[in-house]
A and B are shown apart, each in its own frame.
Chain A
């Protein structure tokens, strides 16, 4: 099985977001970067499928700045066989441009599966995986929480409102992964050492700016200070009155 896993270097989910002086981007001072948590499910799935098949190759691909090499190394430490960094200092806000660059790299790879995390926790865009699938003309299932593979075709499950869709698809295919698909493994220290010897190709690219322009990054609107209505069950009638007459939500 030859599987590609696309990963993204993102700020840690516990980061306190500070807006940079340009008013449009994140201030990266003191920010810790990690592998996008949803991509970890993708990587874990790829490794399990390769292990189950008994042979195969897992290639990790990432688009990002030079520092993303460390992110790829982390994936190599977890068990991927090789990595490719499409090195771009400026990553456009337009996900379609990112998808085009990734699709060009993945096109001739002969992959049976191309896996993405369903969404990156920084831009929350939910789009690059399925866009790559479209550009490559491949079938795609998004946000999978369960996967079974047969010969040349597979079945996946995904959560929808009030239900679970059971979806069948042929290979080769693009899948995006959601929490619940598996339990990602930690790298072993030996894996960290072995990662140093695995191939990591760095390919500098420049992406077009695309047609999304960032006008501003803003803090979320402040909520007005609230009030404690009272204590215990006795405060309930007053709460209900306020919700009705003041907040007007009942």
Chain B
């Protein structure tokens, strides 16, 4: 019986939302292969908030491997070793991780240790006999590459916000072994400093409200922050390269070729003209809304819905209407 290993993430004692996406993708793949989903979470303590819900998304078995000091924070070498140990022996058809900051660091280590290739940032995944077929963006999203992976396991990292979590309940049997070795490895994460401002990361938020030079001044980003807040914690504020280079917004918020590539459910581009490099960063969003006073702005060509007008008039009105919705 083949299985798919889903490697999950937690932070500060709670399961990270992106983990549901990984389990969902694992479940879909396991169903195609007629197999099971094993979820693996490395945590400081066995009781991680949200773990009990993993069965709902399709995990047959959930393992929380814990160690108070080694897994207090991400430990690249210890985590890689733990995943590799679990995945050795070829019992898994695939090892899936989120292509989050941690996943991007962990996946190549695991793949190299297992001596198998890695497909990064996948947006689609299917089985072809014993092999895995993965679709992933290349050239900053200007093209898609469809590849076949014949090694076992195939290690794949998944682009966040693409594999919408779907409930497909399975047993979700939980076991909580503790890690035997106390060795964190040579690379030690001393601390995680708070990032300036916003808590929700642009790369993972389901709704992104992005601003460009049309905002005219850094202080005016407040109208976007108000709009983001109106979505009740589901929205992050992004920025075009122009305003990041001008120092108005931090690089972590930049959407575009040299910033983050995002795939939110809803992307609202405010005062952004739509240069190719920006489009490369958000064109895979499910729904794109553009607000710009120039009706010839290229952004309107990619937007599903657009409003031509003064953003200082339109955005506050939108904030008002959104607030009315949820009540």
Q: Which residues of A contact B (CB under 8 A)?
A: 11, 13-17, 19, 26, 37, 93-96, 99, 121-131, 133-135, 139-143, 155, 157-170, 179-180, 210-220, 223-224, 226-233, 235-237, 239-240, 242-244, 247, 249-250
Contacts and interface: CB of A to CB of B under 8 A. Distances in A.
B148 A135 contact: no
A15 B257 CA distance: 12
A181 to B, nearest CB: 11
B283 interface: yes
A126 B120 contact: yes
Interface string B92-127: 000000011110110111011101111111000000
Nearest to A233: B317
Contact of B100 (A13, A14, A155, A161): A161
A17 B147 contact: no
Q: Is the interface of B mostly helix, strand, loop or mixed?
A: mixed
Contacts of B321: 236-237, 240
Interface stretch (B25-33, B41-49, B55-63, B133-141): B133-141
A226 B300 contact: yes
Contacts of B288: 223, 226
Given A124-B120, A129-B108, A134-B112, 10 more contacts: A11-B139, A26-B143, A127-B108, A159-B251, A211-B116, A213-B147, A216-B145, A232-B313, A233-B313, A240-B321
A10 to B, nearest CB: 9
A163 B284 contact: no
Those 9 A-B pairs whose CB atoms lie nearest each other, nearest first? A134-B112, A161-B201, A232-B309, A127-B108, A130-B108, A160-B101, A233-B317, A17-B142, A131-B112
Contact of A165 (B146, B192, B266, B276): B192
23 contacts: A94-B117, A122-B139, A125-B120, A127-B120, A133-B109, A140-B109, A157-B193, A159-B195, A160-B74, A161-B204, A163-B194, A211-B151, A213-B147, A217-B145, A219-B143, A220-B144, A224-B304, A226-B301, A228-B295, A228-B308, A229-B305, A240-B318, A240-B322
B195 A164 contact: yes
Contacts of A250: 266, 322, 325
B150 interface: yes
Interface residues of B, number: 93
Contact of B147 (A161, A214, A239): A214
Q: Is the interface of A mostly helix, strand, loop or mixed?
A: mixed
Contacts of B135: 218
Nearest to A158: B101
B109 A13 contact: no
Interface stretch (B64-72, B173-181, B182-190, B209-217): B182-190
A98 B194 CA distance: 36
Interface string B140-170: 1111111111110000010000000000000
Contact of A223 (B108, B194, B283): B283
Given A126-B104, A211-B149, A247-B304, A220 B121 contact: no
Contacts of A133: 109
B306 A229 contact: yes
